[in-house]
Structures are given as structure tokens and as C-alpha cells.
Amino acid sequence: MRFRERARGSDRADSTVSTDDGRADSMSESSDRALLDLIRRRGPLTVRELTEETGVTGTAVRNRLSRLVGSGLVERKSLRDGRGRPKHTYQASVEAHKRLGQNYADLAVALWEEMMGTVEDRKLRRVLFKRITERLAEMYRSQVQGEGWEGRLAQLSGLLQVRGVEVEVARDREDLPFLRQHSCPYYELAELDRAICALERKMFEKVLGKGLRLSQCRLDGDRSCDFQAKPTAPAVSA
């Protein structure tokens, strides 16, 4: 019953889901997640079964399914039962199970604390820090190509968004593009040790091939973490 009541409330949000730029609002995204959770637990399910379970309209269910199928989190299967039109069922994809089941925050914090607490040799710490940075950079570097600065920023932004990081390419007062990160993928670690911020900055530098400065940070109370290109030193004339 609790699920049905929550779903009815989110059904109203589906009628106002569209925004000027075509993005779904936060209420709709929440209802998509609720539907995905239901499919993951009880699927495969038909539209009729989903309508009965959630208590919302068939149109609202189909709209949510369309978004979930389009994002690769839900798969549609066709079943033929005698003559007539095939029946469609919906089930969570392998990707959905991977995403919904992943939570490495506790493990990452424990590993970082152990490393920083047991490795007393500062030189060895720096080596480990450098190797971790390089490993993270390898995940993105081959997919960020081209010579244009803004183009590389956009490519990196897209790769981060796929991994669930809320990030965009913004512009400063001088109309120069920079990377604005609204959510931190390492927030708990960064609260524990601000060295994580430097690690992420250095990783971005390796991927983008240019020096960066963290002009503002969420840990300082700012709304976002902004990574801006360091000014290029003027060439020295002969």
C-alpha cells in the first residue's frame, strides 16, 4: 500500500515532467527509480501488472518504461501466447543490477584509512598516490581525444556523466570553458582527507593534458567543484 500511495503522488509529476531543454525533472527521475526497483524485485512484469502494482495510469507507466529502456536499465521481451498480438514483459537489465548493487564508498574509505595509517614512508605514499592517479586517468584518457580544449572537456564530462557524476562544461566571466562538478564521486573520502581533491585534479590533468586549478570546492561550502585551466605562461622572447 505504501508503494501505491507514493506512486500515485509521482504520477502527478509525470504530467509536468517536460522542461524547456527536454530533461526530466527530479520528481520524474525519482518515480523512474521506484519503477525500476519494482521491476528488479518482481520482474518480468507487463504494463498491466505494473499499473496494478503502482496504482498509476498505463500512460505514466509506459512513459517511465520508455525512459528506462532507452537508458539501458530495462529490457523488453516479446512473448507469444497463441494467436493475436505478442505480450511484452519488462525486466531489469544486467547493467541495472550492476549499477544498483554497487556501493564502494565504505570499502574505499577503509582502504584509504589503512593505506594512510600503515604506510609511514612518505616517499612510498607519494609513489602510491601517483600510481592511483595514473590508474584512474587510464579509465578516461583513451576516450578523450582531439586538440580543442572545450572539446576535450565535453568528452570528459560525458564520460563522467555515464558513471553517474553530475558535471557540465561551464564558462567563466571571460567566457573560458571549465569543468563544473555538481556531485563528488569521492565525497566521503574527500571529507576524510582533502588529498583526494588533489588526486582528482591531477587525474583530470593527465586526461586533459593541461594544468588545472580547483577554483572552488564543495567541501568549502561552494555549490560545485570547479576545475579551471591554469593560465599559460607567456613565451619568453629571445
pLDDT of residue 62: 93
pLDDT at 233: 63
Distance from C-alpha of 187 to C-alpha of 192, rounded to nearest angstrom = 9
* % the chain with pLDDT above 70: 82
Distances (CA, A) of 174 to 1, 98, 165, 177, 208: 54, 42, 26, 9, 20
Looking at residue 171, its pLDDT comes to: 95
Is the model's pLDDT at 209 over the cut of 80?
yes
- H/E run at residue 189: helix 187-192
Give the pLDDT band (50/70/90) at residue 20.
Answer: very low
What is d(CA 226, CA 216) in angstroms, rounded to the nearest whole number? 5
Q: Which of 199, 205, 207 is nearest to 133 (CA)?
A: 199
Predicted confidence at residue 32, as pLDDT, reads 85
- Higher per-residue pLDDT: 94 or 130: 130
- For residue 172, which of 213, 201, 220, 218 has the smallest C-alpha distance? 213
Q: Check residue 145 and give its pLDDT.
A: 86
Averaged pLDDT score across all residues of the chain: 82
Give the pLDDT mean for 17-35: 52
Q: Which domains does the chain have, with CATH numbers?
A: 2-101 (1.10.10.10), 129-229 (no CATH)
Assign residue 175 a region (left: φ > 0; alpha: ψ between -120 and 50; beta: otherwise).
left
Cα 121 to the center of its chain, rounded Å: 35
Residue 19 pLDDT greater than 50, yes or no: no
Exposed, middle or buried, 234 (CB in 10 Å: 0-12/13-18/19+)?
Answer: exposed
Average pLDDT over residues 101-118: 79
Top pLDDT among 187 and 157 is at: 157
* Cα 47 to Cα 72: distance, rounded to the nearest angstrom: 18
- Report pTM: 0.58
Nearest to residue 174, comparing CAs of 231, 235, 224? 231
Q: How many CB atoms lie within 10 A of CB 26?
A: 9
The pLDDT confidence band at residue 75, using thresholds 50, 70 and 90, is very high
Phi/psi of residue 230, each to 5°?
Answer: -70, 140
* pLDDT for residue 192 is more than 50: yes
